Amino acid sequence: MINFDEEIEKFQPSLEIEQAEDVINNNDLTDITDILKELLKEKNDK
C-alpha cells in the first residue's frame, strides 16, 4: 500500500510550475475591469 505521509514528505513541486506561476503573477495584462474603469473615467471627464 501507499504510505501517503511518506509520499508527501518526498514531494517537490515541479520547477516548470513555479516558473509559470511567477510569469502569471508578474504579467500585467489589461482585463475587462481595466477597460471599464477607463471608459467610466473618460465618460466622467467629459
Domain boundaries, the chain: 14-45
Residue 5 has pLDDT above 90, yes or no: yes
**What is the pLDDT at residue 20?**
84
In whole angstroms, give the CA distance from residue 31 to residue 21.
18
pLDDT computed for residue 46 by the predictor: 79
pLDDT attached to residue 40: 95
What pLDDT is attached to residue 31? 84
Read off the pTM.
Answer: 0.40
In tens, the pLDDT along 6-43 reads 999 999 887 788 888 888 888 877 888 889 999 999 99
